[in-house]
């Protein structure tokens, strides 16, 4: 399928390189003067193979020839140097998701980060923060091209070691959940009913009005996948996670999908959630199932006290059958891995918030209403925020921030889709979600349920252009983005 949009995105990407050279020449000069020093890490972007299973070896773009990309460990507050080589034919961007770093190294062209040129390299240097579980991934738009952006294998975990580690666990295991072999379809089958809260009538009516007004009566394209994996292996194809009875395992789970929402359960076990998006939660709590929107991370401790051979897997039977799971095998146990469907369970972020918490009042509240225009762009849904779809041509900032002020963003979702909302270079505190007030849960991605509202607060404490977007590649490429600038 060739669509004009694809060429447009390619051209706009090149235009952004040209415009970014001048404003960032100063930082380029700084980085080149440090070029004698050895980099802490080298990341090489290139086409490679992933053996999802012996009979399913796929070709995609990878970091250092592997999926997931290597775990990069940094020390909080200690400057790091990373050399990024791009062996592909297209300019790339490597985004340091969840870090509070300057715009020129954050890895988003909309913020002014220079591209890593095709067949070229760029050295970046930054002070990693805050401590916790972060990740890195490509930030190029994909549009109608399913061989680009987060549809590829360009994702890997980052762990920023805190100055002091509490560490009430025996070992750490990183799990990256990821789908491969994407294709477009009309309509999807995303789980919808697992988030706390109820749809708001007014938003349903607003959504219906948009449907009625739309020229196209059919829904736009959705993306589906053939293969599912954890740490680059389909269920049963890789080594099992070998555990001992009584062990406390700290799982760091990353949903590195381009747009899917994932769940994870381990029969007979509970997850004690200790951090969301790498940030410790005020109220650690035990849950039977983890739910992760696109780009979300959960750190959870599992006490291994139910010996057997189990499937740690997604609740979706079809996705699990196509690979979304990993076997957990207790020492001295063998046999076929067992899956037991957990009881239905609603995911409620407020559960992990302060017990009787009220967030500090904001200096300013900004409301954003999200509307979907069915199939308005060559068969793709177009997304608007307060009536405006983000335009790559103009990159016009929507919001002007003043440093030091506390902003409350109130999102009203007039669509039936779940949106994993992401703010770059800042973290935010959830203040209202699923119809409830909350405080203390600090994140950088949050799922907004269909026809619901949520509010989060953030302090404008990291000057520079800042991107806000839905983390679904398909939504962000077709309008669901906004740029914030500092006054
Ligand atoms: Cu979205």
Q: pLDDT in tens for each of the 487 residues of the chain? A: 333 333 333 333 333 333 333 333 334 434 444 456 899 999 999 999 999 999 999 999 999 999 999 999 999 999 999 999 999 999 999 999 999 999 999 999 999 999 999 999 999 999 999 999 999 999 999 999 999 999 999 999 999 998 766 566 889 999 999 999 999 998 765 667 899 999 999 999 999 999 998 887 788 999 999 999 999 999 999 999 999 999 999 999 999 999 999 999 999 999 999 999 999 999 999 999 999 999 999 999 999 999 999 999 999 999 999 999 999 999 999 999 999 999 989 999 999 999 877 889 999 999 999 999 999 999 999 999 999 999 988 889 999 999 999 999 999 999 999 999 999 999 999 999 999 999 999 999 999 999 999 999 999 999 999 999 999 999 999 999 999 999 9
Distance from the Cα of residue 229 to its chain's centroid: 16
Cα angle 233, 142, 237; round to 5:
5
SS3 264: strand
Closest CA to 391 of 8, 17, 7: 8
CA of 438 to the centre of ligand 1 (A): 23
Alpha carbon of 55 to ligand 1 centroid (Å): 33
- Predicted local distance difference test score (pLDDT) of residue 168: 67
For residue 321, give the DSSP letter: H
Q: Tell me how far apart the alpha carbons of residues 76 and 333 are, in angstroms, rounded to a whole number.
A: 40
| Distance in angstroms (rounded) separating the CA atoms of residues 436 and 306 | 35
Half-sphere exposure (CA, 13 Å, Cβ side) for 2? 2
What is the CA(471)–ligand 1 centre distance, in A? Answer: 6
Ligand 1 centre and the CA of 407: distance in Å? 21
Q: 264 CB contacts (<8 Å, ≥6 apart)? A: 175, 177, 253, 271, 289, 290, 292, 312, 313, 314
**68 prior amide bond cis, ω within 30:** yes
CB distance 269 to 263 below 8 Å? no
Ligand 1: distance of its center to the CA of 420 in Å? 6
Please state, in angstroms and rounded to a whole number, the distance separating the CA atoms of residues 100 and 307. 41
- Tell me how far the alpha carbon of residue 122 lies from the centroid of ligand 1, in angstroms: 31
For residue 112, the Cα-to-chain-centroid distance in whole angstroms is 20
Task: Find the angle CA(277)-CA(280)-CA(283) to the nearest 5 degrees.
Answer: 115
pTM here is 0.92
Across 331-444, where does the E strand assignment appear? 364-377, 380-385, 399-401, 406-413, 419-423, 428-433, 436-437, 442-443
């Amino acid at each position: 399928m060739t669509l004009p949009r694809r060429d447009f995105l390619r051209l706009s990407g090149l235009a952004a390189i040209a415009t970014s050279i001048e404003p960032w020449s100063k930082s380029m000069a700084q980085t080149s003067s440090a070029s004698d020093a050895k980099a802490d890490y080298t990341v090489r972007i290139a086409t490679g193979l992933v053996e999802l299973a012996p009979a399913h070896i796929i070709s995609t773009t990878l970091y250092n020839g592997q999926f997931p990309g290597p775990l990069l460990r940094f020390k909080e507050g200690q400057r790091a140097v990373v050399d990024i080589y791009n062996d592909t034919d297209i300019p790339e961007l490597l985004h340091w998701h969840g870090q509070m770093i300057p715009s020129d190294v954050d890895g988003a062209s909309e913020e002014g980060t220079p591209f890593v040129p095709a067949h070229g390299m760029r050295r970046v240097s930054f002070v990693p923060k805050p401590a916790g579980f972060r990740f890195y991934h490509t930030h190029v738009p994909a549009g109608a091209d399913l061989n680009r952006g987060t549809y590829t294998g360009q994702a890997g975990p980052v762990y920023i070691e805190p100055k002091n580690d509490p560490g009430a666990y025996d070992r750490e295991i990183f799990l990256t959940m990821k789908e491969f072999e994407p294709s477009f379809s009309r309509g999807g089958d995303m789980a919808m009913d697992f988030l706390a809260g109820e749809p708001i009538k007014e938003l349903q009516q607003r959504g219906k009005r948009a449907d009625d007004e739309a020229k196209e009566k059919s829904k736009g394209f959705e993306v589906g996948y053939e293969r599912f994996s954890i740490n680059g292996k389909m269920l049963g194809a890789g080594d099992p996670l070998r555990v001992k009875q009584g062990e406390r395992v700290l799982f760091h789970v990353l949903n590195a999908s381009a747009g899917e929402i994932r769940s994870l359960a381990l029969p007979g076990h509970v997850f004690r959630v200790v951090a969301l998006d790498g940030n410790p939660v005020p109220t650690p709590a035990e849950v039977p199932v983890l739910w992760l929107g696109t780009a979300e991370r959960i750190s959870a401790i599992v006490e291994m006290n139910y010996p057997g051979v189990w499937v740690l897997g997604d609740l979706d039977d079809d996705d699990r059958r196509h690979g979304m799971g990993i076997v957990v095998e207790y020492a001295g146990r063998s046999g076929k891995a067992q899956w037991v469907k957990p009881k239905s369970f609603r995911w409620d972020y407020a559960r992990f918030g302060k017990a009787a918490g009220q967030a500090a009042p904001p200096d300013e509240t900004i409301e954003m209403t999200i509307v979907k225009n069915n199939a308005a762009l060559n068969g793709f849904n177009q997304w608007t925020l307060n009536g405006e779809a983000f335009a790559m041509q103009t990159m016009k900032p929507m919001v002007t921030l003043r440093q030091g002020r506390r902003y409350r963003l109130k999102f009203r979702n007039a669509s039936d889709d779940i949106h994993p909302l992401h703010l770059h270079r800042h973290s935010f505190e959830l203040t209202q979600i699923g119809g409830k007030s909350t405080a203390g849960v600090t994140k950088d991605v949050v799922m907004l349920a269909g026809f619901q509202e949520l509010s989060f607060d953030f302090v404008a404490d990291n000057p520079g252009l800042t991107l806000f977007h839905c983390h679904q590649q398909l939504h962000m490429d077709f309008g669901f983005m906004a740029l914030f600038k500092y006054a």
